[in-house]
Each structure stands twice: as C-alpha cells, then as structure tokens.
C-alpha cells in the first residue's frame, strides 16, 4: 500500500531549478489569504447555516475557522517543501505512496468540480434575484431551481458553468489587476452590508441562540467550512515568502482571523436585523436545507424568512429598507462569483492533468489543444459534469459533498506532515509547523469531526465515490502507473507552486 512512492528528491531537484524570488511579507500574505477566502460561502451559505443552527451559526464560523487554521499550518510545511503543482495529491505521492495519493486526487475532484457546481448555483440565486427585483419580473422557479428546491432545472447555473468552461478551453491570461478589482468588489459589498445591517440589530433575534442544540452548530460548521476553502493559496506562496518561518503563520492565521471576524459581523447583521430562526416541521424538528419539504414550507410562507432565500444578504437588505443596495449586493455577487468558478475548474483540470501524466488516468486527459495550448479534453469533460451538478442539485448539498473531499485531502496532508517528520527529520524545511505533535493531530481530528457532522447523504456519496475510485485504481490505474513501471518523470515547467488562476479581462 505504501510501496509506490514518487521520489521526493526527484521532485525537489526539479523545484530547485526554478526558484522564485522571495518578495512576500506578512502583510502581502494576509491580503492574499483574505482575497482567496472571502467569496462564495458567505454570500451563499448563510441561509443554509441559519437553517441548521439559527443564531448559533456564529459559533459555527469560529469552529470552522479554527479547523482551517490548524490544517493550514500543516499544509504550509508541505507546500514550502514540495513546491510543485498537484497540491495535496503530489504531497501524498511523495510521502504515503500511490494508493493514498490516488485517493487524495480522487477526493480533490469532489473539492473542485462539485464546488464549482455549488458556486454556479449560488451565482444563479443572486443574479435571478437581481433581475426579478430590478426589472419587476417574475421568473418561473421551474427554470431557475433544481428538483430538490421546488423547480425542474437551474438554467442560469448551467449557463455560467458552460461559459466558464469555454473560457478555460480558449485559455485565460492571468491578470492580477482584474483579480484585485474583483476582490475589492466582494469585500466592499460585505463591508456595506455590515455597515447597514449591524446598527439595526435587535438582540431579541438572538434568542433562542441554539434552537437545534449544539449538534446543529456542528452541522452548520461542516457546511460553513466551504466559506474558508481557498486559504491554501497562502500555503502555496511559501517559496516566494521572505522569512517563511515567521511570515507564513502570520499570513495564514492573520487572514483566517480577519475573515472570521468579517463573517461573524455579517452573520450578526443577518441574525440581528431579520432573525435567523430555522423553519421547523409540525413536530418542531428543523427541516433539512435544500429539501423538498423546506421548499414547500417556504412557499407556504411566501419565502418570508432568510433561510428560504437564495440570496440571503441581498434579501436581508431589501427587508430592512435598502432595496437598491440589496440589488447592488446581487450585482457584486454576479460579477465576482464567476471568477471563483473559473478558479475551481482550473484547479480541477490541473489535478487531472498531473494524474494523467503520472499514468493514473488516460493519456487523453493530458492532451493539449494545438491552437489554445490548454488541456481541452479534460476541461470540457469537467465542464459537462459541473453544468449537470449545478442544474439539478441544491447549493447546500453540493457544498457539503465538496467539503467531504476537501476534509479528506486536508486530513491526509496532516498525517503526511507527521510521517515525514519521523522518516526524514533532517530534510530542509523552509517552514516548520509549530507544535507539530499538537497541531497535526488537532487538524486530523478537526477534519474528522466536521466530516462526521456532514449530512448522511454527503457522507454516503463520499463513501460511494471512494469505492468507485478504488475500483478505477485497481482495474486501470495501478497497472498503467509510471511509478509502478519504474519511470519517474518530473517536468521542469511544473516546478512552481500550484498556479492561482485569475479571471480574464472582460
């Protein structure tokens, strides 16, 4: 099981051929982290968290942020040592062998592709709300919601996923300026929301604080974890960081702390201004988010609850007397979220590309388009699946399934860091995880706890996905693996940190 290891020395020798200029300080890393983290989750999953935990979702943000912080510190040590593309898949291949690496890569498909679907559904909710409110028209639910949400098909979500796929096939030029503008739009929208909603808070709306008990808080934390994913962008910048031992923890913990405070203020604004109590059934039990039962109950009250909204922040502002600002929030989400879909799908194709070149997936997956110089086959395949996910499934379920893959990958990295400390203690580490014997187990247990608190559907889907992965590995990949055949290729063009894709100029 642990026999086939991709030699770390070969990977590192290649990485050394292309060393990057160390220019990033603690402040730049913190800003990079905030830009990567603040995005879809807070715009889209606030209603989901409110349905699971009520006002207690404020605790959920703290729990999810803490698990991310300890996972990030473990991730940073591996990212600083193994500065090549492939993320947790490459780290696992170098430390724990091919089977674990395959399972991590297989889990990362859930992290990226399903997450792109979740963001597409979130984008659809905000854009449909914006169009309906700005132009005073009513778009039929059957065309903008999936079957679980009281509709038939989510056409806008399919459309945006297809457009992003087309962009990725044609090729995207990195533009730091456009990315900075989009980050500024997201942060400005959330800041405006906090400024308008927090002053009209009514403390009575915080009671009862945990209507569904602490188990509801844990379940919401497992969903909200999606709102923090992206912090690993900081970890991958380790090779460009001045004094990484000091600046990496400041950048990681600093960005997560600032984002957590930001998220708490947004949550407080929603809860305090319009209330965030879950919708219950006749027996006083909270209905499952994204279920037909909740959709029916919401329809019966005219969607007059934040947990019923597909655009929670915009809906809240309209309710408290700021309809035009609510539309602006919808516009901000409509502009900023496609770049997140692009980033997720780019990450997905990159993992597939690396796995294909290792022989674990068909060689066609790493085919490069003669004109556009992009891995077009796997990009189109990924795009088809993302479009289908977003057309038929609710955002909460997609986010939870995505989280299951992410949590597995982070747990694997936490174990890999410990193993490597034991097996190769003298290897050069530009960044060392502080208090590794405490941090790594905390990260592993935290990931395990959040996985346990996911809904049963998501857990079962992950188990089925893992079983299919094992089947594919033993039926196809194991016999075709390059490492298994004794050939280890390390490509010079991959000797950099996993690229952070940035949207093209509009």
From the list 77, 113, 108, 110, the residue with the least C-alpha distance to 95 is 77
- pLDDT digits 0-9 by tens, 244-288: 778 878 888 888 889 999 999 999 999 999 988 998 887 878 888
pLDDT at 500: 38
DSSP 405-460: HHHHHHHHHHHHHHHHHHH-TTS--SS--TTHHHHHHHHHHHHHHHHHHS-HHHHH
pTM, to two decimals: 0.86
CA distances from 383 to 171, 258, 480 (A): 14, 33, 26
Does pLDDT of 497 surpass 50? no
Within-domain flag for 355: no
The dihedrals phi and psi of 241, each to the nearest 5 degrees, come to: -100, 135
Count: domains in the chain: 1
In a domain, residue 351? The reply is no
Most confident of 135-144, 203-212, 441-450, 454-463: 441-450
Question: Is 50 exceeded by the pLDDT of residue 130?
Answer: yes
DSSP string, 151-173: SS-BHHHHHHHHHHHHHHHH---
Do residues 403 and 454 make contact, with C-beta atoms less than 8 angstroms apart?
yes
CATH number for the domain including 265?
Answer: 1.20.1740.10
Give the percent of the chain with pLDDT over 90.
40
Listed in sequence order, the residues at least 6 apart from 202 whose beta carbon sits closer than 8 Å to its beta carbon are 272, 273
> pLDDT, tens digit, for every residue of 404-413?
998 998 898 8
Residue matched to tokens 């969607």: 303
CA triple 289-382-375, angle to 5 deg: 155
- Tell me, what's the pLDDT at 79? 75
The pLDDT-based confidence of 489 (bands split at 50, 70, 90) is low
Task: Measure the CA angle with vertex 311, ends 234 and 231; round to 5°.
Answer: 5
Classify residue 403: in a domain, yes or no: yes
The reported pLDDT for the residue numbered 27 is 85
pLDDT at 29 (0 to 100): 81
Nearest to 289 by CA among 268, 269, 264, 307: 307
pLDDT of residue 55: 95
Say if 150 falls within a structural domain.
Answer: yes
Cα separation, 143 vs 150, in Å, equals 10
Mean pLDDT of 205-225: 93
Model pLDDT for residues 219-240, shown as the tens digit of each residue = 999 999 998 887 766 766 665 6
> Residue 240: its pLDDT value, please?
67
- 421 to 75, 411, 434: CA distances (angstroms): 14, 16, 12
- Beta-carbon contacts of residue 220 (< 8 Å; ≥ 6 apart): 48, 49, 52, 53, 56, 57, 60
Model pLDDT for residues 41-94, shown as the tens digit of each residue = 888 889 989 999 999 999 999 999 999 989 988 888 887 777 665 567 877 787
Residue range 295-347, pLDDT digits in tens: 888 888 888 889 998 899 999 999 999 999 999 999 999 988 888 888 788 87
192 and 329 in contact (C-beta within 8 Å)?
A: yes
pLDDT for 83 equals: 62
Q: Of 3-17, 32-46, 409-423, which range is least confident?
A: 3-17
User: How many beta carbons lie within 10 A of that of residue 166, not counting itself?
Assistant: 12
pLDDT tens profile 432-453:
999 999 999 999 999 999 999 9
Q: What radius of gyration, in Å, describes the C-alpha atoms of the chain?
A: 22
Comparing CA positions, the residue from 66, 83, 1, 43 lying closest to residue 428 is 83
**Mean pLDDT over all residues of the chain?**
84
Q: Give domain status of residue 500, yes or no.
A: no
Answer whether residue 103 is part of any domain.
yes
> Could you tell me if residue 187 is inside a domain?
yes
DSSP state of 360: S
Q: Could you give the C-alpha distances from 429 to 30, 82, 87, 223, 411, in angstroms and in order?
A: 21, 9, 17, 33, 20
In the structure, how many helices (H) and strands (E) does the chain have? 22, 0
Comparing 110-124, 183-197, 283-297, 443-457, the range with the smallest average pLDDT is 283-297
Residues of the domain holding 138: 22-344+387-479
Q: Determine, yes or no, domain membership for 382.
A: no
């Amino acid at each position: 099981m642990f026999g086939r290891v991709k030699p770390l020395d070969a990977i590192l020798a290649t990485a050394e051929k292309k060393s990057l200029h160390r220019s990033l300080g603690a402040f730049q890393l913190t800003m990079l982290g905030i830009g990567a983290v603040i995005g879809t989750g807070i715009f889209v999953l606030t209603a989901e968290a409110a349905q699971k935990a009520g006002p207690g979702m404020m605790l959920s943000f703290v729990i999810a942020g803490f698990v991310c912080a300890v996972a990030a510190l473990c991730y940073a040590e591996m990212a600083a040592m193994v500065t090549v593309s492939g993320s947790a898949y490459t780290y696992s291949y170098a430390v724990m062998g091919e089977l674990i690496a395959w399972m991590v890569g297989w889990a990362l498909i859930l992290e990226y592709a399903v997450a792109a679907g979740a963001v597409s559904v979130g984008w659809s909710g905000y854009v449909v709300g914006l169009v309906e409110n700005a132009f005073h028209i009513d778009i039929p639910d059957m065309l903008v919601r999936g079957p679980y949400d009281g509709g038939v098909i989510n056409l806008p979500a399919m459309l945006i996923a297809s457009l992003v796929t087309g962009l990725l096939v044609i090729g995207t030029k990195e533009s730091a300026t456009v990315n900075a503008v989009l980050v500024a739009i997201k942060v400005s929208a959330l800041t405006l929301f906090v400024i308008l909603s927090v002053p009209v808070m009514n403390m009575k709306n915080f009671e009862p604080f945990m209507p569904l008990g602490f188990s509801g808080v844990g379940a919401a934390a497992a969903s909200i974890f999606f709102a923090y994913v992206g912090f690993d962008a900081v970890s991958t910048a380790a090779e460009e960081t001045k004094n990484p031992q000091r600046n990496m923890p400041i950048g990681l913990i600093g960005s997560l702390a600032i984002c957590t405070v930001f998220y708490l203020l947004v949550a407080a604004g929603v809860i305090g201004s319009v209330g965030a109590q879950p919708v219950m059934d006749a027996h006083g039990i909270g209905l499952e988010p994204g279920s037909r039962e909740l959709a029916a109950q919401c329809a019966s009250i005219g969607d007059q609850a934040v947990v019923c909204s597909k655009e929670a922040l915009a809906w809240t502002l309209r309710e408290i007397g700021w309809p035009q600002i609510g539309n602006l929030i919808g516009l901000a989400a409509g502009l900023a979220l496609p770049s997140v879909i692009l980033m997720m799908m780019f990450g997905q194709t990159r993992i597939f590309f690396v796995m294909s070149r290792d022989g674990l997936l068909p060689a066609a997956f790493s085919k490069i388009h003669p004109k556009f110089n992009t891995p077009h086959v796997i990009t189109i395949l990924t795009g088809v699946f993302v479009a289908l996910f977003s057309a038929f499934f609710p955002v909460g379920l997609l986010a939870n399934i995505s989280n299951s893959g992410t949590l597995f990958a982070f747990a694997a990295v936490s174990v890999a860091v410990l193993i490597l400390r034991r097996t190769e203690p003298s290897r050069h580490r530009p960044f060392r995880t502080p208090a590794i014997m405490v941090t790594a187990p905390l990260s592993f247990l935290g990931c395990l706890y959040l996985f346990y608190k996911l809904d049963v559907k998501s857990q079962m889907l992950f188990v089925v996905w893992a079983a299919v992965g094992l089947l594919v590995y033993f039926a196809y990949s194991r016999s075709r693996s390059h490492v298994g055949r004794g050939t280890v290729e390390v490509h010079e063009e991959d000797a950099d940190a996993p690229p952070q894709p940035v949207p093209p100029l509009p």
